[in-house]
Amino acid sequence: MSNTTLISILIMSMLINNVVLSQFLGICPFLGVSKKVDTASGMGAAVIFVITLASIICGLIYHFILHPLGLDYLNTIVFILVIASLVQFVEMFLKKMMPSLYKALGVYLPLITTNCAVLGAVLLNVQNEYNVIQGIVNGIATSVGFAISIIILAGLREKMQYNRVPKAVQGFPFTMFTASLMAIAFCGFSGLK
Amino acid sequence: MNLAENTPLERLFNGIVKENPTLVIVLGMCPTLAVTTSAMNGIGMGLSTTVVLALANLFISLLRNVIPDDIRIPSFIVIIASFVTMVDMLMQAYTPDLYKSLGIYIPLIVVNCIIFGRAEAYAYKNKPLASFFDGIGMGLGFTLAITVMGFIRELIGSGAIFGNPIGSLPDYAPSIFVMAPGAFLVLAIMITIRAHIINTIEAKKGVRLPVTHTDEEGSECSSCAMRMSCAGKFQKVEAMMKADKEAKAAAAVKAAPAAKPAAAKPAAAKPAEMTVEEAVKEVKAAAKQAEAAASKTVEAAEPPKKAEDEAVKSEAPKEEAPKVEAPKVEAPKEEAPKEEAPKEEAPKVEAPKAEEVKAEAPEEPKAEEVKAEIPEAPKAEEAKAEIPEAPKADEAKDEADEAPAPMSALERLKAMKAADEAEKEANK
């Protein structure tokens, strides 16, 4: 495992295979919580926090418990339970120990439980046969990619809030068109491969 | 179609047409966008989701009296994840090609919002048979929608129907439609067309049809699929945070009177020499009464008017006109005897102004402005810091209006005299 592979994992997961715009994970918060830059960055920060923790813990569980015992088929169940309880635990821990951080992230934590980006990042770690360190780097890169794209979308939506839009396109389709243009822009990163 | 509630047929119709999860409720966007590169993928994904949905609904409904309310979400997760694992292994064994092309999205059925949504909204409250068919209906509705989308994307993007190329069409097909941007684009166009049809029908019939995605515009949860299971928790928490902020701001405003009498005392102390002490008491009393109004910038030029203004402010919210007039009449009377003639006139002139002010009630917008400003200030300390400044500004105004105004006249006279004398001396 050399540094180049870690850096290439970072670039791959963050920009080229952007979790939202090319893998379509975490679409729900991407469309739902992207009206204002403030809330979007809060959501992005919370996702970075949770995915990083989840990829550490799930990586350890997979490499030291599930895989050695040949329990690979339990991956999905174990991971989703770990993520759900992790989110609950993080919420309680932050509430008690770091109230200021809890205030900044607290609103978004319950929403993350079924954010498919979290489970997706962890499952991709297993599928790509990353070791623990590579998995953590992949998790961080994935979540940073999510934060980047949701903040860009929120910025665009704030700018276009008062644009005159045909009635049928208003709301959801308009956001989808915006996301489509963003995805085209992110296609440009595939030249980095 | 008139069908009895919660019968199998009604559930199927409901899932496929009336509450189609993808097109009507806009749920489960991740697989919808991700796997619809071909119609075959759409069918595979849709059918595997249908199996999980139907079985999970059935079992959750059977266990609905056993599962405690507090831990129902983890219970749902375990039940759903078990079925997803089964489907995952079966597909790996019997349809390896499809399994490969769907990849990570098969295990991700676990977090498909449709399944959670139906478990929470329907299966947990209804009988097993109806829940089972609800799952099948919803699953088939989902399958139909993503198959159509996969068909469109495959036809335009790779010039094929169900994997069979049409003549030389693949050579000219814009491949962007099977890439990531095409997914967003096709779904956006599909929903736009649907919205346009509904808008046209609405315009023709003059009625509003239920459940269009644009209806829910404006709420943060509108396009989030989790809104069914989180039940607006996000909005609740956000509202709580907002209320918390407002409470803090209110506390800051309440703290302001404590600071204000202190600031008001020096302001009132100087005029006290000229005006009645009772007026000062009134000012204080009014300041205490008008806790909410206390943060307003008082533009009173003179203490009597200040007293009036605050009286107006304190009672304006109550909307009791006669009471407001009473103090106004008193205030000039009290001050009149001790004050000099020109100053007597001033309050009289201003009294009607105060009435006008009352009639127009510009204080309320001001209060709103102040209130609007305070929540924006993130720290209560800043709000506190801002409020004490207002009385200071009043002091300055008071001083500027009261003391310097007559002084300046005298000074001008003196300056004139001095200038005259200087001229005389110069002439001499």
Give per-residue pLDDT as tens, B306-359: 444 444 444 444 444 344 333 444 444 444 444 444 444 444 444 444 444 444
The answer to whether A156 faces chain B, any CB pair under 8 Å, is no
Integer Cα distance of B428 and B426 in angstroms: 5
Integer Cα distance of B368 and B362 in angstroms: 10
Nearest CA among A54, A122, A58 for reference residue A88: A54
Q: Tell how many helices (H) and how many strands (E) occur in chain B.
A: 18, 2
Residue B27: band (very low, low, confident or very high) from pLDDT cuts 50, 70, 90: confident
Report yes or no: A66 and A152 within 8 Å, Cβ to Cβ. no
Instruction: Decide which of B209 and B68 is more confident.
Output: B68
Confidence check: pLDDT of B235 > 90: no
Q: What is the pLDDT of residue A139?
A: 93
Nearest CA among B138, B136, B114, B98 for reference residue B31: B114
Confidence check: pLDDT of A38 > 80: yes
Torsion of CA B231, A160, B175, B163, to 10 degrees: 30
Question: What residues of A are in contact with residue B34 (Cβ under 8 Å)?
Answer: 23-25
Q: What is the pLDDT of residue A2?
A: 59
Confidence check: pLDDT of B389 > 80: no
Integer Cα distance of B154 and B163 in angstroms: 8
Report yes or no: B49 and B31 within 8 Å, Cβ to Cβ. yes
In chain B, which residue's Cα lies nearest the Cα of A88? Answer: B74
**What is the CA angle B185-B17-B196, rounded to 5?**
45
Beta bridge partners of residue B160, listed in sequence order: B165
Instruction: Measure Cα distances from B4 to B10, B11, B210, B261 in Å.
Output: 7, 10, 20, 71
Integer Cα distance of B120 and B118 in angstroms: 5
Q: Which of A25-29, A119-123, B112-116, B395-399 is least confident?
A: B395-399
Question: What residues of A are in contact with residue B175 (Cβ under 8 Å)?
Answer: none
3-state DSSP assignment of residue B160? strand
At which residue do the structure tokens 């749902």 appear?
Answer: B76
**What is the CA angle A117-A123-A124, rounded to 5?**
85
Task: Kindly state the tokens that stand for A35.
Answer: 């009206």
Average pLDDT over residues B3-9: 76
Query: Residue B159 has what DSSP assignment?
Result: S
Average pLDDT over residues B413-428: 65
Question: What residues of B are in contact with residue A27 (Cβ under 8 Å)?
Answer: 29-30, 33
- Share above pLDDT 70 across residues of chain B, in percent, rounded to a whole number: 48
Task: Kindly state the tokens that stand for B152.
Answer: 């469109």
CB within 8 Å of chain A, chain B residues 20-39: 26, 29-31, 33-34
* H/E stretch holding B161: strand B160-161
pTM (whole model) above 0.90? no
**Burial (CB count <10 Å: 0-12, 13-18, 19+), residue A101:** middle
| A110, A120, A174 member nearest B230 (Cβ) | A110
Question: What residues of A are in contact with residue B84 (Cβ under 8 Å)?
Answer: 76
In chain B, which residue's Cα lies nearest the Cα of A125? Answer: B104
Question: What residues of A are in contact with residue B176 (Cβ under 8 Å)?
Answer: 184
Confidence check: pLDDT of A135 > 60: yes
The answer to whether B203 faces chain A, any CB pair under 8 Å, is no
| A123, A177, A179 member nearest B104 (Cβ) | A123
In chain B, which residue's Cα lies nearest the Cα of A116? Answer: B111
Integer Cα distance of A127 and A132 in angstroms: 13
The answer to whether A22 faces chain B, any CB pair under 8 Å, is yes
Tens-digit pLDDT profile for residues B155-169? 998 888 888 888 787
Integer Cα distance of A1 and A136 in angstroms: 14
| A31, A184, A187 member nearest B223 (Cβ) | A31
Q: Do A127 and B77 touch (CB under 8 A)?
A: no
Tens-digit pLDDT profile for residues A152-193? 999 999 988 888 888 888 888 888 899 999 999 998 888 876
Q: What is the pLDDT of residue B426?
A: 61
Q: Do B180 and A107 touch (CB under 8 A)?
A: no
| A25, A77, A172 member nearest B26 (Cβ) | A172
Residue A58: band (very low, low, confident or very high) from pLDDT cuts 50, 70, 90: very high
The answer to whether B237 faces chain A, any CB pair under 8 Å, is yes
Q: What is the pLDDT of residue B167?
A: 78
The answer to whether A101 faces chain B, any CB pair under 8 Å, is no
The answer to whether A129 faces chain B, any CB pair under 8 Å, is no
Instruction: Measure Cα distances from B110 to A125, B79, B102, B203 in Å.
Output: 17, 10, 14, 41
Task: Kindly state the tokens that stand for B345.
Answer: 């006139």
Residue A144: band (very low, low, confident or very high) from pLDDT cuts 50, 70, 90: very high
Q: Which of A24-38, A122-136, B103-117, B233-247 is least confident?
A: B233-247
